[in-house]
A and B are shown apart, each in its own frame.
Chain A
Amino acid sequence: MRSGRYSAWRLLREGLSGHRGWGPAWRSPEPQRHYDVVIVGGGGHGLATAYYLARTHGVRRIAVLERGWIGGGNSGRNTTIIRSNYFWPESAALYDFALRQYEQLSRELNFNLMVSQRGLLMLAHTPHDVELGRRTFNAMRLNGIDAEWLDADRILSEVPSLQPSRFPILGGVMQRRAGIARHDAVVWGFARAADSFGVDILQGTEVTGFRTDATGRAVAVLTNRGEIGAGAIGLAVAGSSTQLADLAGFRLPVTSYALQAFVSEPLKPFLDTVLLSPATGCYVSQSDKGELVFGGALDLFPSFAQRGTPPILEQVVAGLLEMFPTLARVRLLRQWAGCVDVVHDSSPILGPTPVPGIAINCGWGTGGFKAIPAGGYLLAHQLATGQPHPMAVPFGLERFSTGRLIDEAAAAGIAH
């Protein structure tokens, strides 16, 4: 690592010498004329792709292009939840791979991702919720994912601050290994580790087009900083995937929506798990700083605005107050929205595109943060070998013409 290895001993040494020896965690290099792999998108997925390309596949000349600053898109706009409580075996394998990586990445990256496996509890408020919850619980167990069914008494003793009124609690599905991780640390940890392998992270570099050779293969990326040759190109740009596909000349089954998130003023600790309440349309966790981090459903129409609309704000806040009426006087500190790439079956798109030389990682919709290690690992495999990883095969673009969709519409717990 250019910035040196982080450790308690190092902290003590730097502390005694006035913190003058840390050095930047990654460089800001000038673009080279050609790279073996160019990745478009400097969020978690793009930086993780670069890291796994270098570490797992030994690719040395890699660039990550980012229009703004790294982690400034959806990686900086999510609610930091990690979980693998999905329904279909293909999804469970994918998301649990990501969760298992999160469990050990802080050590691997030598960067504290502040992973807190505080559990995620999906509440059931009606007999129908109970049936669906039991179905989720059974599917998770069949997929080999940890899951517990908690009855109402158990839930109220584990989360005593809950004050259900109009929406009684009848039970819930708990995944103890789920939790939260610090979103910026995930971006910075992957960026620092990728940089240590020589990956060029090019911020302020906007893609304006692609150049193809006589066979139709994409061989270069056109940017505001000039043309950059590429042996292979990977796209990891979430809500902007359609616009890059337009530049490359293909269409995607993606619609971009705004997904809002909210942070309250800091409160004393009272909530030590992630709560999800499908019936009230709200999910919430309490950050280490004491702020409530919460969100809910998508905005009602397609948007690239990265800001939310009032009807959903009202609905999500009302949902929070149904669970915790005592929060009625708490004020919001921040509110924002990310531009999420929603696909019909709520499953990601991983693999080659109709343009040879370009592979894609998109379609995570409302749940991309939790999948960062998996998305990066699988796009890296595609770019390095030219073949999809077995775990990624079911998630190829061809599923929209074969009809073999992987319908995870219920997996978010909130109707998206």
Chain B
Amino acid sequence: MKPPLLASRIEATMHLIPCPYCGPRAEWEFQWGGEAHRPRPDLSADDATWAQYLFERRNTRGPALERWVHRYGCGQWFHLVRDTVSHEVLAVYGVEDRPPDLVVEPTP
């Protein structure tokens, strides 16, 4: 029997991400868009505040609040609660919504 092509084998083991508009789709259609809920500082903020906003990261180990975009699909932005150790998607919510109750929102 002809062995399956590498590509189809990989498709079968692909991590699925639930787009709120398109349903579960393969991970390579999506792009991680950074940590969620980081309020932009006022333009008059000092250098240290801007440095914090631009560079410092929560870099959560475990359930993290993230922005994602369905880049090669509908192109819509949305939020995920994703475990950065198991890669399990714990919740999906809209781009303008607050995070669900299952996680305590960390400080920005």
Contact = CB atoms under 8 A, between A and B. Distances in A.
Interface in A211-270: 240, 242-243, 251-256
Interface centre among B50, B55, B64 (most CB of A within 10 A): B55
A301 B89 CA distance: 13
B60 to A, nearest CB: 8
B59 A255 contact: yes
Contact of A243 (B50, B54, B61): B61
B32 A309 contact: no
B64 A302 contact: yes
Contacts of B15: 309-310
B84 A304 contact: yes
A300 B28 contact: yes
A85 B3 CA distance: 42
Q: How large is the interface on B (under 10, 10 to 19, 20 to 34, 35 or more residues)?
A: 20 to 34
A313 interface: yes
Given A252-B56, A310-B15, A317-B6, A304 B27 contact: no
Contacts of A305: 84-87
A344 interface: yes
B10 A311 contact: yes
A302 B84 contact: yes
A262 B48 CA distance: 41
A401 B85 contact: no
Interface in B16-52: 26-28, 31-32, 47-48, 50-52
Contacts, number: 72
A106 interface: no
B56 A251 contact: yes
A387 interface: no
Q: How large is the interface on A (under 10, 10 to 19, 20 to 34, 35 or more residues)?
A: 20 to 34
A303 interface: yes
Interface in B56-75: 56-59, 61, 64, 66
Contacts of B87: 303, 305, 309
A33 to B, nearest CB: 30
Contacts of A317: 6
B7 interface: yes
Nearest to A312: B28
Interface of A: 240, 242-243, 251-256, 300-305, 309-311, 313-314, 317, 344, 400-402
Given A240-B61, A254-B57, A254-B59, 19 more contacts: A251-B52, A251-B57, A256-B61, A256-B84, A300-B32, A301-B32, A301-B82, A302-B66, A304-B61, A304-B84, A305-B84, A309-B27, A310-B10, A311-B26, A313-B10, A314-B6, A401-B47, A401-B51, A402-B47
7 contacts: A242-B59, A251-B52, A253-B55, A304-B61, A311-B27, A314-B7, A400-B51
- Please give me the 3 A-B residue pairs with the lowest Cβ-Cβ distance, nearest first: A253-B55, A401-B51, A301-B32
